[in-house]
């Protein structure tokens, strides 16, 4: 190419709008001012130092109030009694926490009345009249009859301990009667409702298979919800067909489990539980591999009850009531059911006898010697009119 042709080509080329720096390539594309400001603001947020989250204020509880209380206060004295209940008498932590709330209620009442200074001064001024005012204060605050009865029972034990320790001259709560509690009949499921509830979980996923195993075990053993969530794999003896349970006060008992529930639990422990990537040693785990809570079990049972078409409001304890009731209907004696449930008092187990009206009627008709005439041969035979009244 000649010099004249090169000069002609230079004249036809259009120059860059802005000069290009050597080694930089094409010029940068200018951004709109608003876009540039948004990018700068975002970069400033990213580059900003991480600020530590402010600590959330501690929710006031009876335990935190007792820890902050002076050493000579009534709350601190109550902690000494609660430690003895927990260590010596072996009461459950939940029972001890309930008693702590009861002592906190008494302390709050005395503080509001302006009469509590130290524990000795509070105990010396506590009498029958003040306890009656305390009961009125509790009722106005909204405490129900059962809560009120528990608080008075706690005060009787606490003030009796103070008398034994030489801290009080007498127990003003010893002769204070609690409210009369109505005898509430337990909510019991029928056999069809139990089967529908157990079949409600979706067996395609790990959560459904976990819940199915949980419901099978609850109906087969009558465990409390706290006992259920506290189970460990070593507590389930698949060879002997029993479950080792630690009930209230860490009392240990062995509960037999039928073959169907054992097969479900064996499959769950072998196939399903490893899918949760266990982070602790509990039997029933949540999505994170941590043991289920009592509240989670409560929500699951309510959800499956709705799916099964059970219109009543049921809870995990309903499965325990159903377990005991169906055993008694099947012919089990009351003492055996008491041992299976882990009741300390037989009176607590006698509550389930109300559901056996059909069974009791059949036993009465079959066994009472004056129910039928001597020459009757069947349970449907009628008493002749001249038989006279039974004496």
Which residues are identified as catalytic? Answer: 224, 248, 317, 320, 343, 352
Cα–Cα dist 119/128, whole Å: 17
What does the longest C-alpha to C-alpha distance in the chain come to?
149
Cα–Cα dist 69/67, whole Å: 6
DSSP single-letter state for residue 106 = H
To 5 degrees, how large is the angle CA 150–CA 299–CA 232? 80
DSSP bridge partners of 285? 291
DSSP bridge partners of 245? 253
Residue 282 in contact with residue 148, Cβ under 8 Å?
no
Exposed / middle / buried, residue 99 (Cβ in 10 Å: 0-12, 13-18, 19+): buried
Chain centre to alpha carbon of residue 315: 10
Cα–Cα dist 232/300, whole Å: 20
Q: Please count the other Cβ atoms lying within 10 Å of the Cβ belonging to residue 168.
A: 20
Residue 115 in contact with residue 109, Cβ under 8 Å?
no
Residue 202 in contact with residue 300, Cβ under 8 Å?
no
> What is the chain's alpha carbon radius of gyration, rounded to the nearest angstrom?
36
Sign of the dihedral defined by the CA atoms of residues 88, 62, 65, 124, in that order: negative
Would you give the end-to-end CA distance of the chain in angstroms? 142
Residue 202 has φ and ψ, to the nearest 5°, of -80, 115
């Amino acid at each position: 190419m000649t010099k004249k042709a090169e000069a002609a080509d230079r004249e036809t080329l259009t120059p860059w709008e802005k000069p290009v720096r050597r080694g930089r390539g094409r010029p940068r594309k200018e951004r709109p001012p608003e876009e540039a400001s948004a990018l700068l603001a975002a970069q400033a947020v990213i580059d900003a130092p991480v600020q530590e989250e402010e600590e959330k204020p501690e929710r006031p509880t009876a335990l935190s109030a007792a820890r902050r209380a002076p050493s000579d206060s009534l709350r601190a004295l109550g902690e000494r009694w609660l430690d003895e209940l927990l260590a010596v008498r072996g009461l459950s932590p939940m029972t001890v926490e309930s008693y702590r709330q009861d002592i906190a209620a008494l302390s709050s009442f005395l503080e509001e009345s302006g009469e509590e200074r130290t524990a000795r001064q509070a105990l010396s001024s506590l009498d029958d009249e003040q306890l009656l005012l305390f009961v009125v204060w509790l009722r106005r605050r909204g405490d129900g009859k059962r809560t009120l009865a528990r608080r008075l029972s706690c005060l009787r034990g606490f003030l009796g301990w103070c008398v034994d320790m030489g801290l009080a001259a007498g127990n003003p709560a010893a002769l204070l009667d609690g409210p009369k509690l109505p005898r509430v009949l337990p909510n019991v499921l029928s056999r069809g409702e139990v089967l529908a509830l157990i079949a409600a979980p979706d067996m395609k996923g790990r959560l459904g298979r976990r819940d199915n195993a949980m419901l099978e075990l609850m109906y087969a053993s009558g465990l409390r919800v706290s006992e259920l969530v506290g189970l460990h794999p070593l507590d389930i003896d698949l060879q002997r067909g029993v479950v080792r349970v630690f009930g209230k006060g860490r009392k240990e008992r062995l509960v037999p489990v039928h073959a169907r529930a054992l097969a479900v639990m064996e499959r769950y422990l072998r196939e399903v539980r490893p899918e949760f990537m266990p982070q602790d040693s509990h039997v029933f785990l949540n999505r994170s591999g941590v043991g289920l809570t009592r509240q989670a079990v409560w929500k699951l049972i309510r959800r499956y009850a709705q799916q099964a078409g059970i219109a009543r409001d049921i809870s995990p304890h309903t499965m325990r009531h159903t377990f005991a009731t169906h055993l008694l209907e099947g012919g089990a004696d009351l003492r055996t059911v008491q041992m299976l449930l882990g009741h300390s008092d037989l009176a607590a187990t006698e509550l389930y006898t109300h559901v056996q009206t059909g069974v009791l009627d059949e036993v009465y008709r079959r066994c009472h010697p004056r129910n039928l005439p001597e020459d009757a041969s069947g349970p449907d035979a009628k008493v002749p009119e001249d038989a006279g009244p039974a004496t």
